[in-house]
Structure 1
Amino acid sequence: MWFKNLQIYRLSAPWTVTPEQLEERLAAQSFAPCANLDMQSQGWVSPRDNGMLVHTVNKQMLLMLGTEKKLLPSTVINQVAKARAAELEEQQGFAPGRKQMKEIKEQVTDELLPRAFSVRRSTRVWIDPVNGWLVVDAASTAKADEVFKLLLKAIDKLPVQNLRTERSPQAAMTDWLSADEAPSGFTIDQDTELRAVTEGKATVRYVRHALEAEDVQRHIAAGKQCTRLAMTWADRVSFVLTESLAVKRLAPLDVLKEDADKSAFGEDERFDADMTLMTGELSKLLNDLVEALGGEAREPH
């Protein structure tokens, strides 16, 4: 149930779409598998395999975007097209031109697509109307953009904006390491990345390695900035904060796992209890993280 990566966005206005209204609007973009000549298909799927596209617990909403993609590498297309071009050259006495070669590749693609293997993946979305968060469980902004592309078809004026803080994560993380002191409520763990701002972008990474204050301070004095930092929040959740204000490798710690073990018995009740626990903890984590970064950036007048 727990998200593994957080692409974090702010609701820029009160969320007024009810779960029932959202369900109805998402239905128009529900997932359908790739047709024979489709390279990719995307649409909304049920987070609980019960036919419902919006799963709601305590006003918290969970959505899931499904993606199916055909595996047809360009090297395969080029290889088959090259063989076809050689046959055609033998028949007509001269090599195919650019236009004819393009047509051959298109024909080969159409022939191979129906037989191509496909892979499916899903991207989960958490909407928190109470605390004003929209979070995508994705390691990259590109995956989050796929979510917004379809959400904008369902909600014409989607009240979402990028999260901006008074201090950049890079500057704040560098200061925390330089002072050898984590912000209140957090501890610094053993993974970090320091990168020079010069053209060469020389990079030093510590992986499961104790951070010696003197070594880190020496790298910072030489002009490197912290771009990734492993941290723990309130002894409850571990994660890696990046320079783009994304959270990666999110994991609940033992104290939360123990809470979850006691929470429910049936599968549905257990899922809802896990969702309640996750959304409750993450909303607090996000608030504390924003505070550690100087609060949200004020809009310029």
Structure 2
Amino acid sequence: MWFRNLSLYRLGGEFESDPVRLHEQLQAQGFQPCGGLDTYREGWTAPLGKHGEQLVHAANGRLMLCLRREERILPAAVVREALDEKVEQIETAEARPVGRKERTKLRDEIVIDLLPRAFTRSQLTFGYIDPAASWIVIDTATPKRAEAFLNLLRESLGSLKVRPLTVNHSPALSMTRWLEGGLPEQFTPGDECELREPVENGAVIRVRRLDLAGEEVRTHLDAGMQVTRLAMEWAERVRCVIGDDLTIRRLRFTDLVMDEAADIAADDAVARFDADFALMAGELSQFIPALTRVFGGIEEG
């Protein structure tokens, strides 16, 4: 259980940290497969998958949840082809053109007919709550998926005070200064960044597998471009790409961490999940505060 992306949210106020109680609150929004004319369904599923039934998995006071989204796959090309055939049949049989309004009605009828027979695909979004540190950490870099997770949690609990992470210093200006003068202690640059002109519809340059301290990047910085994404490593334990929206992409844990995980005895899938979750969350409990500090700390309010 290793996250690949991070969307970070701050909890406001107290949070129910009893996993049994939280499981009970989530049950009403437990996942149910698509039925009838559903285009999609969302609900909570066991983080342990086939190895568990509880909707909450707890480790060291942190609570792992998993949102499952199932949606029907009905390609537009399939609908269009069926519609064209139906229109052709009507125009041939009745010797008249099919107007726009009638085409729209026919299309809706075709969708209703095809939906129950369409294939489905599922997508899992994991996230954990750290009540003691007031964090919700979601494994996605997509705002829409993060909001779906939070909205269902809010619906399950009745209310949820939460807001995206904001910091005191501009991430873009901070990362730009870092490339110009060096990263903060314990952070080292990777070989990737994104540069943007700080104007509407400004130019964007993506740099990969280059020395970020080299002349090419320096030329763009001297021209006034700002860093909006930056690959970095922290304390020889975490690698990632941080964006100016504070979303963390392509999160990787170094061999030092993965070797520690491998040394932990785990007799089955449940024990392995538990050990990995505990180790990952422990690493992030140090990395996230370190990251917020170099951006001037969390903006309160």
Instruction: With the length of structure 1 as denominator, give the TM-score of the two structures.
Output: 0.95
Name stretches of at least 5 consecutive residues in structure 2 with no aligned partner: none
Which residue of 2 is the match for residue 71 of structure 1?
A: 73
Please report how far the alpha carbon of residue 238 of structure 1 lies from its aligned counterpart in structure 2 after TM superposition: 0.4
Tell me, what secondary structure is at the counterpart of 1:84?
Answer: helix
Question: In structure 2, how many angstroms separate the alpha carbons of the residues matched to 1:156 and 1:218?
Answer: 52
Structural mapping, 1:1-301, within 5 Å? 1-49=1-49, 50-179=52-181, 181-267=182-268, 268-299=270-301
Query: Please, which moves more after superposition, 155-164 or 227-236?
Result: 155-164
Tell me, what secondary structure is at the counterpart of 2:245?
Answer: coil
| Identity fraction in percent | 37
8 Å Cα contact 2:192-2:207 kept in structure 1: yes
Please report how far the alpha carbon of residue 17 of structure 1 lies from its aligned counterpart in structure 2 after TM superposition: 4.7
Amino acid at match of 2:190: D
8 Å Cα contact 1:177-1:213 kept in structure 2: no
Query: Please, which moves more after superposition, 211-220 or 269-278?
Result: 211-220
Q: Structure 1, residues 184-205: CA drift from partner, whole Å, max 9, x if none?
A: 2211111111111234422222
CA-atom RMSD, angstroms?
A: 1.4
Please report how far the alpha carbon of residue 168 of structure 1 lies from its aligned counterpart in structure 2 after TM superposition: 2.0
Tell me, what secondary structure is at the counterpart of 1:15?
Answer: coil
Please report how far the alpha carbon of residue 113 of structure 1 lies from its aligned counterpart in structure 2 after TM superposition: 1.4
8 Å Cα contact 1:192-1:228 kept in structure 2: yes
Query: Please, which moves more after superposition, 212-221 or 144-153?
Result: 212-221
8 Å Cα contact 1:25-1:155 kept in structure 2: yes
Instruction: With the length of structure 2 as denominator, give the TM-score of the two structures.
Output: 0.95
8 Å Cα contact 1:184-1:292 kept in structure 2: no
Question: In structure 2, how many angstroms separate the alpha carbons of the residues matched to 1:292 and 1:264?
Answer: 36
Please report how far the alpha carbon of residue 270 of structure 1 lies from its aligned counterpart in structure 2 after TM superposition: 2.3
Question: In structure 2, how many angstroms separate the alpha carbons of the residues matched to 1:294 and 1:128?
Answer: 22
Question: In structure 1, how many angstroms separate the alpha carbons of the residues matched to 2:48 and 2:221?
Answer: 47
8 Å Cα contact 1:41-1:67 kept in structure 2: yes
Tell me, what secondary structure is at the counterpart of 2:277?
Answer: helix
8 Å Cα contact 1:15-1:159 kept in structure 2: no
Tell me, what secondary structure is at the counterpart of 1:99?
Answer: helix
Count of aligned pairs: 298
Please report how far the alpha carbon of residue 48 of structure 1 lies from its aligned counterpart in structure 2 after TM superposition: 0.7
Tell me, what secondary structure is at the counterpart of 1:157?
Answer: coil
Amino acid at match of 2:239: S
Please report how far the alpha carbon of residue 115 of structure 1 lies from its aligned counterpart in structure 2 after TM superposition: 2.1
Tell me, what secondary structure is at the counterpart of 1:204?
Answer: strand
Query: Please, which moves more after superposition, 282-291 or 10-19?
Result: 10-19
